[in-house]
Amino acid sequence: MPKMTMAQALARYMAAQWTIIDGEEKSLFAGVFAIFGHGNVAGFGQALAEIGNTLPTYRAHNEQAMAHAAIAFAKASNRRRMMACTSSIGPGATNMVTAAALAHVDRLPLLLLPGDIFANRRPDPVLQQIENFSDPTISANDCFKPVSRYWDRITRPEQLLASLPQAMRVLTDPADCGPVVLSLPQDVQAEAGEYPESFFERRIHHPRRPGPDDRELSQALAALRKAKAPFIIAGGGVHYSEAAATLADFAERHGMPVGETQAGKGALPWTHALNMGSIGVTGSAASNELVRKADVILAIGTRLQDFTTGSQALWSADAKLIQLNVAAFDAGKQNALSLVADAKAGLAAIDKALGDWHAPAAWTKRASAARDSWQAVIDKVTAPPKGNALASDAQVLGAVNRKAGPSDIMVCAAGGLPGELHKLWRTVDSRGYHLEYGFSCMGYEIAGGLGVKMAFPDRRVVVMVGDGSYLMMNSELATSVMMGLKLDVVLLNNRGYGCINRLQQSVGDKPFNNLLPDNAPEIDFAAHARSLGAEAETVGSIAELERAFDRAKKSSRSHVIVIETDPAISTREGGAWWDVPVAETAKREQVRKARVGYVEATTRRDDR
């Protein structure tokens, strides 16, 4: 048996994992993002340098950001390919905990390989070691346990033989998919062990497509056949199952309108006659009107978070909910009829059994009218402002949407922009809309754009980001320039956290600690972006933005466009109630009034 270090065995095993995409074999791991330190440079760093481009290594500027890029790559690849990230011990490792939480919430594959303290403990405490006063086996990497789907600490080289197959099981399983953390003590990384040659044989991973149980399928069919007002909620599972075309055929054949979650948006092109648009708190008036009247709701590949369900108040308690989901954990939520299956396989089984069943013509006609009304709303709120008024977020995204090409990919996360984009963005491509809203993580945007560009280097990637998120994490703009992976960034400057400022006022409070005060410095975002190597400019109107967006397309490197926006405006049309608790006692009269409204709303929800 060949003898090699644990780190060398890990790198070689990763390089032997393959997948098939569109009939072409591709490496499962597109590479490793690495920021080296004393906890990984001499072990895993040596192994990565030795293996070379067989398992490419990419340098980043921030550990959390590089993990976000890896997550975005996996999301853009519909979980068919993924990346790994390695850091030193201490802050390098804990910087990635937020990213692990994001991947856990969004059910996305991410392999994290943080360095760890010495397994032999001889030099304890080492630089950056966190000492637990009562348990010497605990290190900073134990912070990953609550946000990992699989966690292990490799304290002997031969433990890879058992741990790596389990890691691959989680990373490639559609139901268990999520972040895997393998903590690598720095002394063990450099220790040699013997591994059988068979451990490194080329392995091709095929996505599992479990079909539905006959009994569960029969229950779902019985409910659908009785439906007078059926409605479909399309979640991210539609994309991960690559079931967009299947969903379109199913909806057309049975006349069922479709609403889309943030993760599910783009499952149908916006031009599809049965696409009612977004659903929930940031939903379209069309989707929310129809789901309120629905008697049967078929939810596909969604975990039904509160933004989708309107804090479980959006639809009638009498409506029959069918949860088609590959994960039994999600399929059993909210007293649903559980239908555990892959989205594509499950839809195909329902379709075959329903035969020529079709929703009542009056219901489909009502959906068509609601859709037309909502499209008119989009046209109105995204039109350029009149006069010299500051643009709203909706007007900015409208301009970008009008100028973007059909193959462009829009990337965003957190703040007020995702709500506007969910309601108003129009995409004809199933991969044209990339939102991180499960964890709603500020700072994901530019790093996420980098990961999307790595997945689709030949497509234009447009990042939309607010000034608050940009200031939280912008370092990978420099990485995009360094790697020659061009991003077009539209930076909306409303001088603070405009979304939360509006939320604060909606519960009766006065603005406090969200927008920058008048004496705060005027930040020259364009100058800052240029200092990171990007091209950048500031524009003063929607017309200037549209011209700048065309110029950005011709740029040879990442291009940032800055525009000032009004923090007070958001799209009032559409939407649904969201449970945000209001203080039960307060000095401010507006808060006391808001509390009365909150109690009434929760009572209506609970009395459904």
Q: Tell me which residue of 430, 249, 222 sits closest to 348, measured CA to CA.
A: 249
Tally of CA atoms within 13 A in the half-sphere of 457 that contains its CB? 6
Residue 608's pLDDT is 72
Residue 264's pLDDT is 98
Strands (DSSP E) contained in 271-336 are 275-278, 296-300, 320-325
Q: Which residues pair with 323 in a beta bridge?
A: 299, 338
> Which residue ranges of the chain lie beneath pLDDT 70?
none
Residue 604's pLDDT is 87
What is d(CA 308, CA 295) in angstroms, rounded to the nearest whole number? 17
What is d(CA 221, CA 230) in angstroms, rounded to the nearest whole number? 12
Chain centroid to Cα 484, Å, comes to 24
pLDDT tens string 95-108: 999 999 999 999 99
What is d(CA 378, CA 40) in angstroms, rounded to the nearest whole number? 51
Neighbours of 380 (CB within 10 A): 12
Q: Which residues pair with 535 in a beta bridge?
A: 559
Q: What is the largest CA-CA distance in the chain?
A: 77
Which helix (H) or strand (E) segment holds residue 151: the answer is: strand 150-153
pLDDT tens string 579-591: 999 999 999 999 9
Residue 470's pLDDT is 98
Burial string for 558-587 (b: 16+ CB within 10 Å, else e) reads bbbbbbbbbbebbbeebbbbbeeebeeebe
Which helix (H) or strand (E) segment holds residue 535: the answer is: strand 535-539
Query: Could you tell me the CA-to-CA distances from 119 to 57, 126, 163, 552 in Å, in that order?
Result: 26, 11, 17, 51
Residue 395's pLDDT is 97
Burial string for 444-456 (b: 16+ CB within 10 Å, else e) reads bbbbbbbbbbbbb
Q: Summarize the chain as % helix, strand, coil (round to 5).
A: 40, 20, 40
Residue 388's pLDDT is 78
Chain centroid to Cα 192, Å, comes to 39
Residue 606's pLDDT is 82
Amino acid at 77: S
Alpha-carbon torsion angle 47, 53, 55, 59, nearest 10? 80
Eight-class DSSP state of 89: S
Residue 1's pLDDT is 78
CB contact at 8 A, 65 and 476:
yes
What is d(CA 176, CA 408) in angstroms, rounded to the nearest whole number? 31
Whether the CA torsion 572, 574, 578, 584 is positive or negative: it is positive
What does pTM read for this prediction? 0.97
Here the tokens at position 270 are: 């916006």
Residue 546's pLDDT is 97
Rounded to 5 degrees, φ, ψ at 285 are -65, -30
What is d(CA 88, CA 518) in angstroms, rounded to the nearest whole number? 41
DSSP 371-392: HHHHHHHHHHHTSPPSTTPPBP
What is d(CA 185, CA 440) in angstroms, rounded to the nearest whole number? 32
Whether the CA torsion 223, 229, 232, 233 is positive or negative: it is negative
What is d(CA 296, CA 481) in angstroms, rounded to the nearest whole number? 50
